Structure 1
Amino acid sequence: MYTTIPSFITDYENESRSTLKLLDTLTDASLSQEVAPGFRTLGPLAWHLVHKDHGLLTGAGLSFKAPAAESETPASAVSIAEAYRAVTQSILSAVCGHWSDEALEETVQMFGQTWTKGQTLSIFVKHEIHHRGQLTILMRQAGLPVAGMYGPSKEEWSAIGMDTPV
């Protein structure tokens, strides 16, 4: 849970850079990669990180510019990455401009529970990390290289001449 705006800003800037490493690797052809029939494909999964999903932040009273949850997934991987960059900046600006450290202790009703705004921001970041993990699986299935998030990926280990740890 975040108790200060700067702690959220630092963390979200770092996490969004990691997300962008993945989004910038996507290709238009990879957007149709599915894990199994009937499940979300790579394109809509990536787009899920861009649009105002499920009201996590808007439900906590934060207003920022982002595509509507019902918006159609772009067919262009570059468009998804560019939209993510814009939404990330919009979220950072909104948090800095409209919330204070004290506001992070205010409570909101989320999914039938009482959360603080600081808790909501923490869950928002964890939600993105969760979906980033899903992205990496679909990216591997699509034959794309995967960037390391909290340490080197298999490709990055190889690039520095090291055996991949098992």
Structure 2
Amino acid sequence: MQMIQMFLKELDAEAKTTRKMLSIIPDDKYDWQPHPKSMTIRRLATHIAELPSWITMTLTTSELDFASNPYTPEVINNTAELLKYFEKNLADGRAHLEAATEEQLSESWTLRNGKDIYSTTPKSEVLRMAFSQIIHHRAQLGVYLRLLNIPIPGSYGPSADDTSF
């Protein structure tokens, strides 16, 4: 199986789990955070929903320079908006991945802040990192929701909240 096909398969599988997790965020909890140093649910959930856009960015650019591209997150106020934003980014990322070539995945991509270079890696590794970030932050959201006593859906099997577990 080629790398693009493996990424597409993983993207589809992870999107199902991500969609389940994002869909259970109560609209009245978007400003909640477990600790002053932690992101709010709004910030965390928005980041999860935007991460599929990193697929497009990775495949269509050679770098991200934070110094010339200041981060301005989308303003999300409720779960309906969040899911719409996620689906838009997912569809765009998937379309760019479907149109990509295996050769593109070998091209270098750089993450920097002006003159400070954080990494220069093949685009395939950047895509892998983006997928890992989705999983990592989705698990973080699961902890937030658990602290709010919201039942958590299973990710790779049943969760402790699954009645058949």
SS in structure 2 at match of 1:130: helix
Question: 2:94 corresponds to which residue?
Answer: 92
In 2, Cα distance between equivalents of 1:76 and 1:28:
5
Deviation at 1:108, TM superposition (A): 1.7
In 1, Cα distance between equivalents of 2:148 and 2:51:
26
Aligned length: 152
Deviation at 1:57, TM superposition (A): 4.3
Task: Considering fraction of residues, name the structure with more strand.
Answer: 2
Runs of 5+ consecutive residues of structure 2 not aligned to the other structure: 62-69
Question: 2:64 corresponds to which residue?
Answer: none
SS in structure 2 at match of 1:122: helix
Equivalent AA in structure 2 for residue 5 of structure 1: I
Equivalent AA in structure 2 for residue 60 of structure 1: T
Please tell me whether the aligned partners of residues 51 and 69 of structure 1 are also in contact (alpha carbons under 8 angstroms).
no
Equivalent AA in structure 1 for residue 109 of structure 2: V
In 2, Cα distance between equivalents of 1:73 and 1:143:
25
Question: 1:8 corresponds to which residue?
Answer: 7
In 1, Cα distance between equivalents of 2:50 and 2:71:
5
Instruction: Determine if the alignment matches structure 1 residue 102 to structure 2 residue 108.
Output: no
In 2, Cα distance between equivalents of 1:61 and 1:110:
14
TM-score (norm. length: structure 1): 0.81
SS in structure 1 at match of 2:126: helix
Question: 1:44 corresponds to which residue?
Answer: 43
Question: 1:60 corresponds to which residue?
Answer: 58
Instruction: Determine if the alignment matches structure 1 residue 33 to structure 2 residue 32.
Output: yes
Fraction of identical pairs, as percent: 22
Deviations 1:85-121 (A, max 9, x none): 1110110001222x20121111222342221111111
